[in-house]
Amino acid sequence: MNNPADTDPDITDPTLAAHLDEAPSGAFALAGIAVALLLVAWAIIYLFVFLPRGPVG
Partner 1 sequence: MAIDPLSNARSERRWAFAMVGAAMMMLFAIVWASLSPHMNPPSNIENVDPNTLHIAGEFTEDNLGTQVDAKGRVTTRIVTSQFSFAPECVVVPQDMQVTFRFVSPDVIHGLLVVGTNINTMVVPGYVSQVHTMFDKPGDMLMPCHEFCGLGHSQMVAHVRVVPIADFKPDENGRVACAEH
Partner 2 sequence: MGYVLTTFFIMGFGYFVAESALRQPLPAPRLAWLGFILGIVGTVMVVATVLTGHASVMFTFYPPLTASPIFYLGLVLVVVGSWIWCVLMLVAMMRWKRANPGQPVPLAMYATAANAVLWLWTTIGVAVELLFVVIPAAFGWTQTVDVGLTRTLFSWTLHAIVYFWLIPAYIAFYTIAPQAAGGRLFSDLMARASFILFLLCGLPVGLHHLFMDPEHSTGFKSIQMILTVLVAVPTLLTVFTVTASMETAGRLRGGKGLFGWIGALPWERPMVLATGLSFFMLWFGGFGGLINMSYGMNAMVHNTSWVSAHFHMIFGGSVVIMYFAIAYHIWPSLAGRAAPSVALQRIQLWLWAVGMMVMSMPWHWLGLNGQVRRVAQFDYADPSMSWWTPWMAVSLAGGFVLVVSAALFIWNLVSFHVERSAGVYPAPVKYATALHPDQPVPAALNGFALWNVFVLILMAAAYSYPIAQFFILNPPQAVVHRVDR
Q: Which residues bind partner 2 (CB under 8 A)?
A: 1-7, 9, 11, 15-16, 19-20, 22-31, 34-35, 37-38, 41-42, 45-46, 49-50, 53, 56-57
Torsion sign across C-alpha atoms 25, 27, 29, 32: negative
* HSE-up (13 A, CA, CB side) for residue 42: 6
Residue 26 within binding range of partner 1, rule CB under 8 A: no
Quote the CA–CA distance of 30 and 5 in Å, as a whole number.
Answer: 27
Point out which residues bind partner 1 (CB under 8 A).
13, 16-17, 20-24, 28, 31-32, 35, 39, 42-43, 46, 50-51, 53-57
